[in-house]
Structure 1
Amino acid sequence: MNPLDEEWESWKTTFEKKYNSPEEETIRRAAWEKNKIYIEDHNKQYEQGLTSFTMGLNQFSDMIEGESPCGCMNKKTTQPN
Structure 2
Amino acid sequence: MWKILFIAALSGGAAALVSQDLDQEWETWKSKFNKSYPNKNEELKRREIWEKNLEMITQHNLEFSKGMHTYDLAMNDRGDLTTEEMSGCLLPFRKRRSV
| Greater Rg over alpha carbons, structure | 2
Which residue does the alignment assign to 2:95? none
- CA–CA distance in 2 between the matches of 1:4 and 1:53? 25
1:29-76 alpha-carbon deviations (Å, 9 max, x no partner): 000000000000000000000000000100000002421364xxxxxx
Provide structure 1 residue ranges, at least 5 long, that are not aligned to the other structure: 71-81
| 2:76 corresponds to | 58
1:23 has 2:78 as partner: no
Give the aligned length.
Answer: 69
Cα RMSD of the aligned pairs, angstroms, is 1.3
User: 1:1-80 to 2 correspondence within 5 Å?
Assistant: 2-68=20-86, 70=89
* Distance in 1 of aligned mates of 2:24 and 2:81: 19
Post-superposition, which runs of at least 4 consecutive aligned residues in structure 1 deviate over 4 A?
none
Structure whose residues are more often helix by fraction: 2
* C-alpha distance in 2 between matches for 1:15 and 1:5: 16
Q: What CA distance in whole angstroms lies between the structure 2 residues aligned with 1:5 and 1:37?
A: 15
In the alignment, the residues of structure 2 paired with residue 7 and residue 18 of structure 1 have an alpha-carbon distance, to the nearest angstrom, of: 15
Q: Percent identity among equivalent residues?
A: 38
TM-score with structure 1 length normalisation? 0.79
Counterpart residue type for residue 15 of structure 1:
F
